[in-house]
Amino acid sequence: EVQLVQSGAEVKKPGESLKISCTASGYSFTSYWIGWVRQMPGKGLEWMGIIHPGDSETRYSPSFQGQVTISVDKSISTAYLQWSSLKASDTAMYYCARLSRAAAVNPFDDWGQGTLVTVSS
Amino acid sequence: EIVLTQSPGTLSLSPGERATLSCRASQSVSSSYLAWYQQKPGQAPRLLIYGASSRATGIPDTFSGSGSGTDFTLTISRLEPEDFAVYYCHQYGSSPRTFGQGTKVEIK
């Protein structure tokens, strides 16, 4: 069974850094693209980017390029989403998700439970 | 960037009724790389349809997708109580991938 388990909720101040995680199990981690989706409070889904754990090729949405960094640690089957300087507008639920097949042209199929990030002074 | 516009914003229906949700793309979605997701409050999205018309694993046949090019439809033939939720379309054929803004199906 594919499982994506995300790290717990975070409360941070503006300007602080943050790295949240998504640990995968139940499949070959290096064979499937994995990515991140933002959902701001009461709003819709926003595609942030994806990474291939096999070679760390990363594709970002222009809306998030330069604002966040997506990375992986193959040795522990974990993907990360990080910020160097948080803003209040980064307050959202963040989901990790795996593409349904090995190629990049596939939808997200399996999802993590979400990590709530709250940024407030 | 392909902009996906969903309509209506909210659909008020009774259990047993048919729901028809629309997703219109600002440009053609290549190879019908269009998916539909269902999201309930406090839960992660669930994949329903991919490739415009193929049901994902475990999705009942009351859900069907159709369309091509710029116009796509999700149909729920008979609404069950558990089908009241928010539905999103998603194109994954062009970069950047994008989602529609969602249609809420609520109990009338």
- How far is A68 from B21, CA to CA, in rounded Å? 33
CB distance from B69 to chain A under 8 Å?
Answer: no
Other C-beta atoms closer than 10 Å to the C-beta of B33 total 18
| The predicted structure's pLDDT at residue A78 | 98
A8 phi, psi to nearest 5 deg: -80, 175
| Alpha-carbon gap: B35 to the closest alpha carbon of chain A (Å) | 7
Average per-residue pLDDT for chain B? 96
Question: Token pair for residue A56?
Answer: 């760390």
Average pLDDT over residues B82-91: 98
Tell me which of A32, A51, A70, A111 to substitute to probe the interface with B (most B C-beta atoms closer than 10 Å): A111
The two beta strands, B103-107 and B10-13, are parallel
Q: Which residue has the tokens 């993907």?
A: A79
- How far is B9 from B6, CA to CA, in rounded Å? 7
Helical segments of chain A, H only: none
What are the tens digits of pLDDT across the range B34-67? 999 999 999 999 999 999 999 999 999 999 999 9
Helices (H) and strands (E) counted in chain A, each on its own, are 0, 11
Q: How far is CA B25 from CA A54, B2, B68, B89, in A?
A: 32, 6, 10, 10
Contact by Cβ (8 Å): B20, B3: no
**In chain B, which among 22-61 make CB contacts under 8 A with chain A?**
31, 33, 35, 37, 39, 44-47, 50, 56
Q: Which amino acid is at B98?
A: T
What are the tens digits of pLDDT across the range A53-104? 999 999 999 999 999 999 999 999 999 999 999 999 999 999 999 998 888 8
CB distance from B70 to chain A under 8 Å?
Answer: no
